[in-house]
Chains A and B, each alone.
Chain A
Amino acid sequence: ETGVTQSPTHLIKTRGQQVTLRCSSQSGHNTVSWYQQALGQGPQFIFQYYREEENGRGNFPPRFSGLQFPNYSSELNVNALELDDSALYLCASSLERSSGNTIYFGEGSWLTVV
């Protein structure tokens, strides 16, 4: 149990639709990051939020966007869904942005695009 909760756990969307995934970080953690994990692959960094501002971004197009709220919970939005967006989306939280801090992951949201 990491204290990071994600919703929904599974969902199916149609190509071209939009999706919002949600994450509640561990209590007191002000840094939240999102990862995409395709089947059989390692997670790929999408972006990170620190105190409600985007603080780093991986190699993902602008149709992947996010928000972090004052309580440090977060959303990942994906517009114009493509079949290749089918993956497990992982949220992670940590206390501050130090590279030595432990990063805790949620169990993920499985997205299937048909």
Chain B
Amino acid sequence: GNSVTQMEGPVTLSEEAFLTINCTYTATGYPSLFWYVQYPGEGLQLLLKATKADDKGSNKGFEATYRKETTSFHLEKGSVQVSDSAVYFCALTMYSGGGADGLTFGKGTHLIIQP
């Protein structure tokens, strides 16, 4: 079956540091890939997505590139802020004959940014 593996947290960084959160996936075929963010006490918000190989998703200074050859979708940001503190989830979905399947999520990475 499909699966997503992302780096364990918590990840603690200082403000303005460079961020990388690793995500790799296993899927039969070519999935669409997503990063979702969950702030404390809130639901999931889509951060960015990529639907085909070599696509780069970007939003709010975050970027991730769909790498088919390494089955990866690593999340990066050049300079993090305290407000970026949250839990980040990598996810995928596949399209089957009946339509898109549900999202398969990683376990989440808790990011803590210290001032």
Given A41-B108, A42-B106, is A102 in contact with B46 using a C-beta cutoff of 8 Å?
yes
CB neighbours (8 Å) of A99 from chain B are 31-32, 51, 93-95, 100-101
CB neighbours (8 Å) of A107 from chain B are 42-43
Closest Cβ of chain A: how far from B42's Cβ, in Å?
Answer: 6
Partner pick for A103 among B4, B51, B95, B103, CB 8 A cutoff:
B103
Asked if A8 lies at the interface with its beta carbon under 8 angstroms from chain B, I say no
Interface members, chain A 21-72 (any B CB < 8 Å)? 31, 33, 35, 40-48, 50, 55-56, 58
> Can you list, as one digit per residue, whether each of B84-114 has a CB less than 8 Å from chain A (1) or not (0)?
0000010101111011111111111000000
Classify the interface of chain B: helix, strand, loop or mixed.
strand
Interface members, chain A 72-114 (any B CB < 8 Å)? 90, 92, 94, 96-108
Q: Which of B89, B94, B100 has the most CB of A within 10 A?
A: B100
Asked if B17 lies at the interface with its beta carbon under 8 angstroms from chain A, I say no
CA distance A94 to B45 in the complex (A): 13
CA distance A34 to B43 in the complex (A): 13
B43, A98: Cβ atoms closer than 8 Å: no
CB neighbours (8 Å) of A97 from chain B are 95, 98-100
CA distance A107 to B101 in the complex (A): 21
Partner pick for A43 among B32, B93, B103, CB 8 A cutoff:
B103
> Can you list, as one digit per residue, whether each of B5-42 has a CB less than 8 Å from chain A (1) or not (0)?
00000000000000000000000000110101000001
Q: Which of A33, A35, A105, A107 has the most CB of B within 10 A?
A: A105
Identify the closest chain B residue to A47 (Cβ): B102
Asked if A2 lies at the interface with its beta carbon under 8 angstroms from chain B, I say yes
Closest Cβ of chain A: how far from B89's Cβ, in Å?
Answer: 6
Write the residues of chain B forming the contact surface with A, with a CB cutoff of 8 angstroms.
4, 31-32, 34, 36, 42-46, 49, 51, 89, 91, 93-96, 98-108
A-B contact list, 8 entries, CB within 8 Å: A45-B101, A45-B104, A90-B43, A99-B100, A101-B100, A103-B93, A104-B46, A105-B45
